[in-house]
Amino acid sequence: MDLDVFVAAHRGEWDRLTALLRRRRRLTGAEADELVVLYQRTATHLSQLQSSAPDPVLVNRLTTLVARARSAVVGTRRATWRDALRFFVVAFPAACYRSRHWWVTTGVVFTLLVAAMGWWIAANPEVQSTIAAPDELREMTRPGGGYESYYSSSPAAAFSAQVWTNNAQVAGMSLAFGALLGLPVLWVILQNAVNVATGVGLMASADRLDVFLGLILPHGLLELTAVFVAAGTGLRLGWTVIDPGPRTRAAALAEEGRAAIGMAIGLAAVLAVSGAIEGFVTPSGLPTWARIAIGVAAELAFLTYVFVLGRHAALAGETGDTAATDRATEVPVAA
């Protein structure tokens, strides 16, 4: 591209757009239409310059001009409670539903892995001896020991906040690591599987697996499902790097990345619920069946939320991405 020729050919359009922006509150109907056309043309010019002749001074000038024009054409708006309502009723459940194959598969593999490792630990005393000394194992698995006292080790509110923070970090890491082809996500999931399997195996070896399940199921069903959703979304994002489909890789990553950021916010809310259950319900004096029933109810509510609301929104074309008016303008550029 000959930059001087390009500037000479289009400077008049840029100057005209600048003039229209200066008096945009007093434009006639024809002038408003002209402003929209010039905005689209200038956005195309900017894309062409960025890809072919990235002169920093000119790119900076056109970037500012396009931003001003976009504000005039699209208008500015403030986030309202309706945006939050739309996110939780439409965008978030749709994003969860769209990635369901990834996180359901992650959950199944995780469960099978925990069952296999738990059985291996329970059936092999030599494996247990590598985890801790015999006295320490007895202390962890006895009635009122480490596994049971853990859930009442702090005041319920403080414990809930601590658990929520930790789980939100795990979910956030799973989502963020997706951009690295998803490989670190597998490590995060494996670490969590080992932790759960260790508890299963040690308590099973002490004939107290029922107690362990009674402690972990009330909050663990929803908590682990949220972790599975985060991991599945991270893996999906990683696969997008490899296979973006009909979209360009940059466009695919931008779309899926924006949806992943939204999911981080939604999953933080889900994990806040599981954290409250873990802090107030798990260590409570309720019968085991009642505590588990609360956990099952929370899990069924989330699954209904995803597979009813989410499915409906996804079939209507919702992807979990930000609203079209909040995205950067995308203008096709000739190859």
pLDDT of residue 73: 79
- Confidence check: pLDDT of 309 > 50: yes
State the pLDDT confidence band at 154, using cuts at 50, 70 and 90: low
Which of residues 334 and 80 earns the better pLDDT score? Answer: 80
pLDDT of residue 319: 79
Judge whether 170 and 230 are in contact, CB under 8 Å.
Answer: yes
pLDDT of residue 321: 67
Q: Which tokens is 26 given?
A: 């007093």
pLDDT of residue 75: 63
Share of the chain above pLDDT 90, in %: 36
Q: Which tokens is 286 given?
A: 């309720």
- Confidence check: pLDDT of 101 > 70: yes
Here the contacts of 70-79 (C-beta below 8 Å, separation 24 or greater) are 70/39, 70/43, 70/329, 72/21, 72/24, 72/35, 72/39, 73/35, 73/36, 73/39, 74/325, 77/325
Question: Which pTM value belongs to this model?
Answer: 0.70
- DSSP designation for 332: -
